[in-house]
């Protein structure tokens, strides 16, 4: 996909730009990064071939840096503290012209406009997860503790509302409890939203983090990490709900360790949860207890029951076990092996990988 042998990184805050840079260099690409003072980590310079610095809003300077380095592909990795957009931004003539054409200063609208401006100069913006698809959340329950009946009802309720809020391009995080909205993410960000909701909920709140229906995965992909769990601990929240395949999980193992230690449940659901064909109502609690073999059907208001001739763990005859095996000993292999080992009518006969 990257034919020039170079990749540009527009680097925001956090560890994401460093992960992207390291993965790109492992693939033999030359990395040219542009960062922002007080946002981008200075250590990023250790993992790139060229490091440049611009102030927030210096769009023309950023484009000139990439064109001088003959960069034709770039990624936007890491965010920018949104409150600084009102105090630290110093737009040049190009940024002012771009912003003047927008109807509102919404995240996606601004980023799409910046991407279009770059592409007009021959710099194509690639998906931010181009080199790191392995750190996207996988469907299922990742922790020892599973959501209880009340929490599952809140998840269904909050999931639908989160998508409606996303349509308005407001935020990616919603906090609910007992089918009441406690907090909606604004410009203050996810952590502040969790703390606001946790304070109102007084324990047991559900944190839902999803992509927007209009989400452009070239930038602003929802992301969580150990700090998210630490914030949930402080807020007294009990369940973290993510969108599978569209949410970045930094330090996944540390997240799960912290969650298990503090009895927090982490659940990842497919975006297709509400698009499943309806055939027959199924006991959702039972599906949860069986290990969430199919996360996309677990929290739908009505889920699909397999046809009689469709192989299924849950369709095994009483007293009989279905033999299963897992291919791959990586994170997902371990994850599925653990799930199958807990299902009473599944006989896990082995885990296989290539050596």
Residue 100 is predicted with a pLDDT of 86
Q: Which residues pair with 176 in a beta bridge?
A: 181, 206
Q: Are residues 289 and 169 in the same domain?
A: yes
Residues in Cβ contact with 79 at an 8 Å cutoff, skipping those fewer than 6 apart: 12, 13, 14, 220, 223
CATH number of the domain that residue 200 is part of: 3.40.140.80
Q: Are residues 293 and 167 in the same domain?
A: yes
Q: Are residues 288 and 314 in the same domain?
A: no
* Residue ending a domain, choose from 93, 125, 157: 125
Q: Are residues 211 and 283 in the same domain?
A: yes
Count structural domains, the chain: 3
Whether residue 77 contacts residue 12, with contact meaning beta carbons closer than 8 Å, is answered with yes
Residue 185 is predicted with a pLDDT of 92
Q: Are residues 335 and 291 in the same domain?
A: no
Q: Are residues 295 and 335 in the same domain?
A: no
Q: Are residues 253 and 240 in the same domain?
A: yes
CATH number of the domain that residue 99 is part of: 3.40.50.20
Alpha-carbon span 187 to 185, nearest angstrom: 7
Per-residue H/E/C for the chain: CCCCCEEEEEECCCCHHHHHHHHHHHCCCEEEEEECCCCCCHHHHHHCCEEEECCCCCHHHHHHHHHHCCCCEEEEECCCCHHHHHCCCCCCHHHHHHHHCCCCCCHHHHHHHHHHHHHCCCCEECCCCCCCHHHECCCEECCCCCCCHHHHHHHHHHHHHHHHHHHCCCCCEEEEECCEEEEECCCCCHHHHHHHHHHHHCCCCEEEECCCCCCCCCCCCCEECHHHHHHHHHHCCCEEEEECCCCEECCHHHHHHHHHHCCCEEEEECHHHHCCCCCCCCCHHHHHHCCCCCHHHHCCCCCCCCCCCCCCHHHCCCCCCEEEEEECCCHHHHHHHHHHHHCCCEEEEEEECCC
Residue 86 is predicted with a pLDDT of 55
Alpha-carbon span 95 to 105, nearest angstrom: 13
Q: Are residues 218 and 352 in the same domain?
A: no
Q: Are residues 90 and 166 in the same domain?
A: no
In a domain, 164, yes or no: yes
Q: Are residues 144 and 265 in the same domain?
A: yes
Q: Are residues 172 and 160 in the same domain?
A: yes
| pLDDT string in tens for the chain (355-residue length) | 677 899 999 999 989 999 999 999 999 999 999 999 989 999 999 999 999 999 989 999 999 999 999 999 999 998 887 655 555 678 899 999 988 888 766 666 788 889 999 999 999 999 888 888 889 999 999 999 999 999 999 999 999 999 888 888 788 899 999 999 999 998 888 999 999 999 999 999 999 999 887 677 787 788 999 999 999 999 999 999 999 988 999 999 999 999 999 999 999 998 654 444 444 444 555 544 444 444 444 443 443 434 333 334 444 455 677 888 888 766 566 667 777 777 777 788 888 877 5
**What residues make up the domain containing 288?**
136-305
In a domain, 1, yes or no: no
Q: Are residues 157 and 225 in the same domain?
A: yes
């Amino acid at each position: 996909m990257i034919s020039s042998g170079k990749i540009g990184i527009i680097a925001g805050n956090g560890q994401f730009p460093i992960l992207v840079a390291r993965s790109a260099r492992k693939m033999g690409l030359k990395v040219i990064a542009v960062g922002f003072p007080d946002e981008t980590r200075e250590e990023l310079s250790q993992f790139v071939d060229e490091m440049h610095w611009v102030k927030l809003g210096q769009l023309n300077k950023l484009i000139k840096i990439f064109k001088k380095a003959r960069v034709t592909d770039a990624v936007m990795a890491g965010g920018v503290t949104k409150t600084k957009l009102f105090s630290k931004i110093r737009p040049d003539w190009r940024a002012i012209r771009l912003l003047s054409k927008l109807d509102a200063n919404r995240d996606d609208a601004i980023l799409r406009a910046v991407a279009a401006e770059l592409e007009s100069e021959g710099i194509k913006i690639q998906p931010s997860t181009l080199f790191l698809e392995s750190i996207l959340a996988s469907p299922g329950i990742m922790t020892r503790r599973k959501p209880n009946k009340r929490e599952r009802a809140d998840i269904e309720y909050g999931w639908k509302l989160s998508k409606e809020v996303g349509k308005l391009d407001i935020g990616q995080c919603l906090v609910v409890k007992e089918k009441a909205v406690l907090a909606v993410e604004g410009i203050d960000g996810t952590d502040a939203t969790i703390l606001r909701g946790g304070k109102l909920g007084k324990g047991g709140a559900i944190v839902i983090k999803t992509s927007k229906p209009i989400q452009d995965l070239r930038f602003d992909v929802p992301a969580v990490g150990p700090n998210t769990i630490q914030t949930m601990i402080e807020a007294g929240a009990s369940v973290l709900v993510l969108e599978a395949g569209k949410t970045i999980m930094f330090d996944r193992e540390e997240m799960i360790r912290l969650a298990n230690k503090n009895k927090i449940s982490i659940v990842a659901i497919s975006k297709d949860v509400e698009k499943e064909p309806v055939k027959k109502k199924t006991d959702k609690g039972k599906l949860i207890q069986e290990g969430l073999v199919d996360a996309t059907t677990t929290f739908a208001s009505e889920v699909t029951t397999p046809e009689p001739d469709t192989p299924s763990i849950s369709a095994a005859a009483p007293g009989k076990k279905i033999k299963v095996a897992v291919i791959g000993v990586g994170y997902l292999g371990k994850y599925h092996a653990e799930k199958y080992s807990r299902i009473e009518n599944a006989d896990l006969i082995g885990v296989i990988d290539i050596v």
